[in-house]
Amino acid sequence: MNKKQVTLFGSSGLIGGFLLSELLANASLEKIVVVSRRALILSHPKLEVRLINFSSQKEVEGVVENSSVVFSCIGTTQARVKGDKDAYRKIDYDITLSIAKACKTKNVSSFLYVSSAGAKRSSAGFYLKLKGEIDDAVIALNLPSTTILRPSLLLGKRNEFRFGEKIAQLVMPLFAFLLPKKLRPIKGEKVAKAMIDLSKSSQKGTHILENNSLI
């Protein structure tokens, strides 16, 4: 396994964008494989963009092969899927689990991905329930090393406009000091840097980083 190669899923999002910048600046890495459905408007000597069909397990396995670490920032929104919960699940749950299974098949040393604060299978809300189901399914695979990050509201400039989230980003920081750390908003860049730091650890087993730990 090439310890100087990593694979990144979800580079177009807030955390993924920061994560990609950090990885490209990392002198110890020789290749960063970015997996996407669409071509990236970005060029770099260390960057290899792989366009795949995410419903093909074989293709997912192909892009994680030879990487020592796999990062995933995969996630969608109700607006993107137009309220279709089945479509939402196919992206957040199916793709994340597919990546985790590929890591197991290809003997990837470490898998790190972004979940959500409050993720719990027993939650009454669709989003947090789904995130909890994803976490449980990935944990059940018993990968060599799994790190799950559960940030709260993310702060930072996104490539897409999300009205509700934009309002929350403006209002929540004003009252953040009143909230427990597990609910305080956190900068997307901070989560990305935490992923980089955690990926350097040789810890085995499953580790869950709640928002208060990330802060």
User: How much is the pLDDT for 153?
Assistant: 87
Model pLDDT, residue 78: 84
φ, ψ of residue 114 to 5 degrees: the values are -95, 125
| Eight-state DSSP code of residue 1 | -
Query: For the stretch 18-44, what's the b/e string if a residue is b when 16 or more beta carbons lie within 10 angstroms of its beta carbon?
Result: bbbebbeebeebebbbbbbeeeeeeee
- pLDDT for 50: 95
184: phi then psi, degrees, rounded to nearest 5: -70, 145
Give the pTM: 0.89
2-214 belongs to CATH 3.40.50.720: yes
| pLDDT for position 61 | 98
pLDDT, tens digit only, all 215 positions of the chain: 456 999 999 998 899 999 999 999 999 999 999 998 888 888 899 999 999 999 999 999 999 999 999 999 999 888 889 989 999 999 999 999 999 999 999 999 999 999 999 999 999 999 999 999 999 999 999 999 999 999 998 887 655 545 555 555 555 555 555 555 666 788 999 999 999 999 998 889 999 999 999 98
Q: What is the pLDDT of residue 38?
A: 81
- The per-residue pLDDT for 9 is 97
Domain boundaries, the chain: 2-214
